[in-house]
Amino acid sequence: MPVWVGVDYGRARIGLAVCDALELTARPLGWIARADDERAARAVAAIAQRHAAAGIVIGMPRLADGRYGDNARWVQRFRARLAQRTTLPIRFCDERDTTAEAIALLQESGRWPCADGWIDAEAAACILRRFLAQRALTRGAASSPDA
């Protein structure tokens, strides 16, 4: 199975993560500085190609009540720019609370304090883990004898 690349899109930096070929684990790759969406889209597409990715997952910011906030428009514009740079499928995944989750994981693993970019990379891994968990549930439901 090919891997998926996770993206935590931000105004200053973009955190990146990748999963294993079995889609069981996700790990932070690092981050790239975001000067503009064109350069960022080229960089993300190149990373996905380098990892022979099956697709790209971008965290979609939502408000606490589930509605899309103003930041969602920026992420949608970035996705459109990225889609011009790759033919891979690009999916969204709810990114609520992933920064807090990333900080907690970094603290628990003894990697805290750290550079802000590592928080973004760990948040990208959290986003990717959520996506993989949803995929696993969907596949499990589809293969269930009751389905």
Q: What is the per-residue pLDDT across 3-54, written as a single tens digit (0 to 9) for each?
A: 999 999 999 999 999 999 999 999 999 999 999 999 999 999 999 999 999 9
Domain residue ranges in the chain: 3-143
For domain 3-143, which CATH number applies: 2.60.120.280, 3.40.640.10, 3.30.420.140, 3.40.50.300? 3.30.420.140
Tokens of residue 43, six digits: 């960089």
What's the confidence (pLDDT) of residue 139?
78
Q: What are phi and psi of 72, to 5 degrees?
A: -60, -35
What's the confidence (pLDDT) of residue 145?
55
Residue 138: band (very low, low, confident or very high) from pLDDT cuts 50, 70, 90: confident
pLDDT at 144 over 90: no
Judging by DSSP bridges, how do beta strands 13-19 and 53-60 pair with one another?
Answer: unpaired
The residue whose two tokens read 């033919």 is 87
The reported pTM is 0.91
Nearest to 8 by CA among 69, 63, 74, 67: 74
Q: What is the mean pLDDT of residues 131-142?
A: 84
Contacts of 62 (CB under 8 A, 6+ apart): 68, 69, 72, 94, 95, 96
Contacts of 81 (CB under 8 A, 6+ apart): 37, 38, 40, 41
More confident residue, 1 or 90: 90
The answer to whether residues 143 and 31 touch, using CB atoms and an 8 Å cutoff, is no
